[in-house]
Amino acid sequence: MRIGIFPGTFDPVTEGHLDIIRRSRRILDRVIIAVARGHHKDTLFTVEERVAMVETCAESIDGVEVLGFDGLLIDLARKRGASAIIRGLRFVSDFDYEFQLALMNRRLDPEVESLFFMPSAKYSYLNSSVIKEVMRLGGDVSGLVPPSVLARMEGKFRS
């Protein structure tokens, strides 16, 4: 059984993330979505809210499990028997950071490979920060995040 871990902040999950999850499931039997508590980032949603949102959005994709995590990703990968770390690559600008991360993870555990997926071109300019900024300013982001996420964001920005 080939298990992959897709780590990220998912603040909030977007159609770009879901595109990567679907693509990764074509070659992996199970995908664990690891939602980082995110000490290094100020998040709009708590980790519990982010996990719940990903769960709702990924409900229709089988072979997917969602959990919150804190700590070293490679420890979680080992604990869960994962042989791959899944990441998305949008532009060349993602590359430097992803390259560093992948080589560090390889150093920590050479048995775990990093796998990169390119999203559909229509999602390649998306990131969670841009979505939040546009929404904060009253712009329309429908179609870029699932309807359940849109509703949660509307609630957040109203309060």
9 touches ligand ADP by CB under 6 A: yes
4 touches ligand ADP by CB under 6 A: no
17 touches ligand ADP by CB under 6 A: yes
Q: Which of 51, 53, 69, 90 binds ligand ADP (CB under 6 A)?
A: 90
Q: From the CB of 155, what's the least distance to ligand ADP, in Å?
A: 20
> What does the alpha-carbon distance between residue 93 and residue 102 come to, in Å, rounded to a whole number?
15
**Quick one: which H or E segment has residue 149?**
helix 147-158
Stretch that binds ligand ADP, among 52-60, 63-71, 76-84, 85-93 (CB under 6 A): 85-93
Is 90 labeled as catalytic in the residue annotation? yes
Q: Which residues contact 87 (CB under 8 A, 6 or more apart)?
A: 6, 7, 20, 98, 101, 102, 114, 115, 116, 117
Would you say the C-alpha torsion 48, 54, 57, 59 has a positive or negative sign?
A: negative
16 touches ligand ADP by CB under 6 A: yes
Residues 126/132/133/138 CA torsion (nearest 10 deg): 110
Give the start-end residues of each E strand in 9-101: 30-36, 64-69, 84-88
Q: Give me the catalytic one of 41, 120, 122, 136.
A: 41
Is 132 labeled as catalytic in the residue annotation? no
In terms of CB distance, is 9 or 105 closer to ligand ADP? Answer: 9
123 touches ligand ADP by CB under 6 A: yes
Q: Which residues bind ligand ADP (CB under 6 A)?
A: 8-10, 14, 16-17, 20, 87-88, 90, 94, 119, 123-124, 126-128
